Chain A
């Protein structure tokens, strides 16, 4: 398995710096590189195309306005984008009556969605390579740790919601999240080297 591409990470940092200086071309590049992944996340959390697209617009407006606050010492550029996007999606999720959503979601078992990819070809190649590495790393985790991570991060469920859905004590869910994420981080690092996780 080839190593993840550190060149992309350094480019992302340079792009965000350029966006912070008001560089529209760099901003468009960030959008083209990550818009599709972020829309995929929005759809997964919000389950409504119009809402997902709405939030995506807000996210990128925030990227434009807040790029200056990106600090590479706190994590990769992709992490900054992911965190920002996920927060806005969760905010929107919680702002709307969640009873219907909860009903929809209780049936899910928290597996990563493997639908057809519609992203841009060259970015898609990099993403697919990383997806494979992440899935392999996830496979090293016990089922219950894998599930809580995916439910919490990709499906946007709170720890309490997960505890209720899985009929587990809140403390157990928290412990599984902690242990699971630590293991995932180690597994990623051993597969892909320091630059990845």
Chain B
């Protein structure tokens, strides 16, 4: 395909009008063409802006509660980690800055506003009946208030500073966690291979990717599995590879994964345990996975013996 042909695909991709094949072709071109990436970005933003003309419809309160409950139920290990993202360089936007701004409190609890209402003149104005001692006491209260105000402000700006720093710390911790995850992954493989109930299967590539290959270790006692795949083509946008355990001709769903830039992938998963004669397969599905396989099979195999 000539470059001009790829350019013709961009607007159609932005409105979601490309079929699987065309999209895969475009995805293959984009990593090496900044011009097309930039144009696709502009087209995508323009298309998405059409959404502002759609009248919003507020979802029911139950829906909100359901969504939040489902999100809490998600096992953190199921959260997708794109291997190429783990080593990503720092992005342009500093999220902690924006969050610091968004979190800065304002409004009625501002003591300056409260004190402003109690003017010193008013205090002394209705003082005649109380006498000098009371006036001094009142003044003392105001002075105390002013110094509290200055401490309050300092506390607030320190609080913002703390919030910003703790966001940065969380970011650093997330990166560290990502690296630990990779190390733990390697240890998982060792532990898994040491288990007495482990079966190892070699998966070979089917028609969409005959060059693909994977090794899979499955612990029948716990259902823990590790799969390492090579030679898989990159997933089209909105899709991911999904692992399946097929027992008695029934495919049971496993986790989803994507490949790195070299077409390699590794995933630790928890499959249903206690299957003695399993077959394993990898298909291409919607991102997030599906309960029954719908896409093409890319890899399949079973333990020998």
Which A residues lie at the B interface, using CB under 8 A?
Answer: 10-11, 13-14, 17-18, 21-22, 24, 27-28, 31, 35-37, 39-41, 43-44, 53, 56-58, 60-62, 64-66, 68-69, 72-76, 78-79, 82-84, 86-88, 90-91, 112-120, 124, 127, 130-131, 133-135, 138, 149-150, 152-154, 156, 158-159, 174, 177-178, 181-182, 184-185, 188, 196-197
Contact = CB atoms under 8 A, between A and B. Distances in A.
A134 B46 CA distance: 9
Interface string B6-19: 00100110111100
A57 B71 CA distance: 10
A56 B238 CA distance: 16
A56 B50 contact: no
B58 A79 contact: no
Contacts of A83: 16, 44, 48, 238
B74 A82 contact: no
Contact of B12 (A28, A39, A113, A159): A159
Interface stretch (B91-99, B126-134, B148-156, B179-187): B91-99
B74 A24 contact: no
Contacts of A78: 48, 51
A61 B74 contact: yes
B304 interface: no
A90 to B, nearest CB: 7
A34 B278 CA distance: 43
Nearest to A74: B41
B59 interface: yes
Interface stretch (B60-68, B115-123, B195-203): B60-68
A112 B287 contact: no
B286 A91 contact: yes
Interface of B: 8, 11-12, 14-17, 37, 40-60, 63-64, 66-68, 70-72, 74, 76, 78-82, 85, 91-93, 95, 98-99, 102, 170-171, 174, 238, 286-288
Interface of A is mostly: helix
- Top 7 A-B pairs ranked by shortest CB distance? A36-B56, A119-B56, A185-B46, A112-B53, A14-B98, A79-B48, A82-B48
A124 B296 CA distance: 43
15 contacts: A17-B95, A35-B58, A36-B57, A37-B52, A68-B79, A68-B85, A73-B41, A78-B51, A114-B55, A118-B58, A135-B53, A149-B15, A153-B16, A184-B49, A196-B45
Contacts of B98: 10-11, 13-14
Contacts of A14: 93, 95, 98-99, 102
Contacts, number: 215
Given A53-B63, A62-B287, A119-B57, 9 more contacts: A11-B98, A35-B58, A41-B51, A57-B70, A75-B45, A78-B51, A83-B48, A130-B49, A153-B47
Contact of A13 (B71, B76, B93): B93
Given A72-B93, A87-B16, A53 B60 contact: yes
A181 B14 contact: yes
B84 to A, nearest CB: 10
A181 B17 CA distance: 12
Contact of B55 (A40, A58, A84): A40
Nearest to A158: B17
A4 to B, nearest CB: 9
A152 B16 contact: yes
The residue among A17, A36, A53 with the most chain B CB atoms within 10 A of its own CB is A17
A177 B78 CA distance: 38
Nearest to B64: A31
B51 A82 contact: yes
B45 A130 contact: no
B68 A130 contact: no
A56 B64 CA distance: 10
B133 to A, nearest CB: 50
A118 B55 CA distance: 8
A113 to B, nearest CB: 6
